[in-house]
């Protein structure tokens, strides 16, 4: 008997067998209106949080920077940022990082390769750094860590009445700024630096538009001893030497064509109390210049090889009266000891030391008369790295509380577990906001 083939039966697939094309849910935040993004950003009081928000995508960055399309109608400008303490940058050719004093957390710092290889020579407000790029001959540049902007800086010094080449290559050791490049006034900004030229020490100055660095018009442009620090205060650049003398440079216009020149003035300093005792001690002394409420201050850091930094002393620059009982003084200025900082914190760094008011920061009420100091001595590790760079340890750093009895309290800072052990390029430096 022939059996007819069974008719195929159409069976509806089960729900698990149905292939449904599901469109991805649109991300409503990816192209959110500018005013919504600005409203969210208004709840972020710290610059680091807003910086992270800017990095989500180009649209968010344009909105927060004020470059957006304003759809729907844009809200008023973001409220001003709360003041920030300086962040401490730990340079490294492989894994640079930073430490935030506000939240006490360490973060990785993503930088272009040539910036990671650069030597940091100075910093100023707005996130600007002066870099010595790792090139031959050495080239310099200003670099903004917030936005990656660069400004080329020349690598040569023009020496007045130089019978030689006229443009001498220089090596910058530390630099200070008159103002931030992003907030410069009608006359722009200027940089003053400690420079090594022709194996001699001198002061070098540059402002945007100059083809080279310039120095003093005086015949005595060289310094007999290397300056230890430089600071711009009250319209002049101050350099301090190892014998605590002050050399001042004032920018001015001279000549028939109003040529921009630097005038040098050597202060006749009266030796401070205790200077002779310090010379007889076993400690090496590092000197920093700080602008504290418009007055130039000198900070002494006492360093012992086995113990590292043990104490600090602070002095203020005081101009002596021209006549005392009708008799001229033996000198024009001196250093006067300061026992406490009157509600201020000091952050020390070559060319970038800052004095900050404690009352501006919640949670720092007990930090008055505190000095924060990084390790800037370059203590080498005897074993070089693969590319013949030498490692440098971050061991002699912390914070020091001045006390009127002269016995200050020293504490480690940042915590050891929140900072790298060493660098293969440069000491820590301050990221100023």
Mean pLDDT by 10 residues, the chain (433 residues): 43 46 62 82 76 83 74 60 88 91 88 92 95 87 93 91 70 95 87 93 92 82 87 96 94 75 90 91 93 96 89 95 74 93 94 94 82 82 60 87 76 91 86 93
Structure tokens, 317: 């620059």
SS3 417: helix
Main-chain dihedrals φ then ψ at residue 91, nearest 5 degrees: -65, 150
Radius of gyration of the chain (CA): 28
| 193 close to 203: Cβ distance less than 8 angstroms | yes
Measured CA to CA, the distance from residue 344 to residue 360 in angstroms comes to 10
Measured CA to CA, the distance from residue 381 to residue 163 in angstroms comes to 43
Nearest to 330 by CA among 267, 274, 265: 267
Q: What does the pLDDT read at residue 136?
A: 76
Distance of CA 353 to the CA centre of its chain: 8
SS3 99: strand
Structure tokens, 322: 């021209």
| 355 close to 345: Cβ distance less than 8 angstroms | yes
Main-chain dihedrals φ then ψ at residue 59, nearest 5 degrees: -65, -45
Main-chain dihedrals φ then ψ at residue 295, nearest 5 degrees: -115, 135
Distance of CA 401 to the CA centre of its chain: 22
Measured CA to CA, the distance from residue 427 to residue 312 in angstroms comes to 20
DSSP sequence for 158-219? EPTT-SS-SEEEEEEEEEEESS-GGG-BTTB-EEEEEEEETTEEEEEEEETT-SSEE-BSSS
Structure tokens, 104: 């006490």
């Amino acid at each position: 008997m022939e059996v007819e083939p069974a008719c195929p039966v159409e069976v509806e697939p089960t729900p698990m067998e149905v292939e449904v094309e599901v469109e991805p849910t649109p991300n409503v935040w990816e192209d959110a209106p500018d005013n919504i993004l600005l409203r969210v950003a208004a709840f972020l009081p710290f610059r680091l949080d807003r910086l992270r928000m800017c990095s989500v995508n180009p649209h968010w960055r344009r909105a927060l920077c004020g470059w957006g399309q304003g759809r729907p109608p844009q809200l008023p400008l973001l409220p001003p940022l709360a003041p920030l303490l300086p962040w401490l940058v730990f340079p490294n050719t492989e894994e640079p990082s930073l430490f935030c004093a506000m939240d006490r957390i360490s973060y990785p710092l993503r930088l272009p390769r040539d910036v990671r290889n650069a030597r940091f020579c100075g910093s100023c407000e707005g996130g600007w750094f002066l870099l010595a790029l790792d090139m031959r001959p050495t080239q310099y540049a200003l670099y903004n860590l917030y936005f990656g902007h660069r400004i080329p800086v020349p690598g040569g010094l023009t020496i007045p009445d130089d019978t030689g080449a006229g443009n001498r290559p220089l090596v910058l050791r530390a630099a200070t700024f008159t103002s931030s490049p992003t907030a410069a006034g009608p006359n722009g900004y200027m940089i003053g630096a400690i420079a090594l030229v022709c194996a001699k020490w001198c002061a070098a100055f540059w402002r945007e538009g100059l083809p080279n660095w310039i120095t003093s018009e005086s015949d005595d442009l060289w310094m007999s001893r290397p300056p230890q620090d430089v600071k711009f205060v009250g319209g002049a650049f101050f350099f301090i030497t190892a014998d605590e003398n002050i050399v001042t440079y004032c920018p001015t216009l001279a000549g028939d064509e109003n040529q921009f020149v630097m005038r040098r003035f050597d202060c006749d300093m009266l030796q401070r109390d205790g200077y002779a005792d310090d010379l007889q001690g076993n400690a090496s002394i590092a000197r920093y210049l700080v602008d504290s409420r418009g007055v130039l201050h000198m900070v002494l850091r006492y360093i012992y090889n086995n113990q590292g930094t043990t104490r600090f002393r602070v002095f203020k620059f005081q101009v002596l009266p021209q006549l005392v009982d009708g008799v001229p003084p033996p000198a024009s200025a001196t250093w006067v000891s300061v026992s406490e900082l009157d509600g201020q914190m000091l952050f020390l760094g070559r060319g970038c030391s800052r004095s900050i008011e404690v009352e501006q920061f919640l949670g720092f009420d007990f930090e008055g008369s505190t000095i924060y100091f990084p390790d800037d001595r370059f203590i080498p590790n005897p074993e070089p790295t693969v590319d013949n760079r030498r490692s440098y340890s971050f061991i002699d750093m912390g914070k020091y509380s001045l006390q009127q009895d002269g016995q200050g309290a020293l504490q480690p800072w940042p915590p050891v577990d929140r900072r790298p052990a060493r660098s293969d390029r440069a000491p820590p430096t301050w990221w100023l906001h």
